[in-house]
Amino acid sequence: MVKQSRRPPRPAFTLIELLVVVAIIALLISILLPSLKRAREQAKMVACQASLKGIATAGNTYAAGDKSEMSIPVHRLMGLGIGTVGEYEFGGKAGIGEPELASDPMSSKWGTQNGRGPATRGLNTVVYKGGFNDFADDPGPNNVNWLSDTQLDLGIYRCPSDKGYNGHHYAAWRDSGLTSYDHYGTSYTASTLWIGVFNADCTLFSNSAFLKPISRIPNPANSVYFVENAGRFGWRSNYGVDDCASGYSGPLGQDVESVMKGWHGKPWNFAVAFVDGHAAITDMQGHRHPQPRLPFYPTWKGSQTDHNFWHCVIIRGNGWQADTLPGPPVDTGIVCGGGGVPVNPIQ
């Protein structure tokens, strides 16, 4: 009988060696996690800009087929519906924010029931060939049609970093806790600057790309077209200077916080699409105070063409302008305060 020889026992890891290995793994994770997080945020930022670029391209395509060359579609409730000023109705799904019947999201002012469903949003006909069925008068069993309009996954209108917002903005959205995509139906807002004058026959004039033929927009590479909704009021940080904001009250007055964060990490930097079709992360901290070059400003409303007036309506910064000067403002035919439009010198 052959006697088996015993193999020598394998050396085991000591407790200290195991602890060292665990410590090394923990260290590597701590080093890699921030990089992975930055990479994820960078990917979201790129996707957000790509969506804005797609929306800008859709706007330019829409303008090419519109007899008035409007690149931001004029919603059919414009000037009629309460609070319809064109900033969110250009495209997207049905929103569920600001319900008019208790907490029923189907009664949202941004939803199908109130005439702002996806079938009514003009750019949808360009982005999604054929558009959507209009269910405003056809809720379906248990409101299934209205509900389906709120659940559409329209990726081009959703910024991956859209987590809602608690900064300087409309209180209704800020306090809702909803993403902009769910509240309004889109993560983005159109650039809609108005000029109004306090007098008996006050009418609103467009001082932006909104309601203006695209061929009449100077400097399209700098002119703001669409913005991530978190940055809608970034230019207001110094707007109270010279009492420009004296006509405002509440959340849109002079009480702008010292820092406004966008969805991509860096304060005052927001994803922006421009009229020429490109998109970029843009520093929009406040606006410049123009020098008194009155001969270069358009004549408008006679006595209003002084430096202080234009100081308040020229809204621009380094590489961007929300106003469309030196092109003249366009008479919208909408009366100040009519259809729920605020009676303010500029909106």
Question: Which pLDDT score, from 0 to 100, does residue 205 have?
Answer: 75
Question: What integer pLDDT is reported at residue 198 of this predicted model?
Answer: 41
Which residues are CB-contacts of 228 (< 8 A; sequence separation ≥ 6)? 48, 52, 159, 161, 162, 187, 188, 189, 262, 263, 270, 271, 272
| Burial label, 247 (beta-carbon count in 10 A; 0-12, 13-18, 19+) | middle
pLDDT tens by residue, the chain, 347 residues:
555 556 666 666 677 777 788 888 888 877 777 766 777 888 899 999 999 999 999 999 999 999 989 899 988 887 665 566 789 999 999 999 999 988 899 999 999 999 999 999 999 999 998 789 999 999 999 999 999 999 999 999 999 999 999 888 888 999 999 999 999 999 999 998 776 544 445 667 788 898 888 988 989 999 999 999 999 988 877 666 555 655 444 444 444 666 788 999 888 899 999 999 999 999 988 776 555 555 555 555 554 455 556 666 778 888 999 988 877 777 777 665 554 343 333 33
Give me the pLDDT at residue 343, please: 37
pLDDT at position 17 is 72
**Would you state the pLDDT for residue 102?**
84
pLDDT of 142: 93
Give the pLDDT confidence score for residue 125 in this predicted structure: 93
Q: How many whole angstroms separate alpha carbon 141 and alpha carbon 217?
A: 46
Q: What is the pLDDT of residue 97?
A: 96
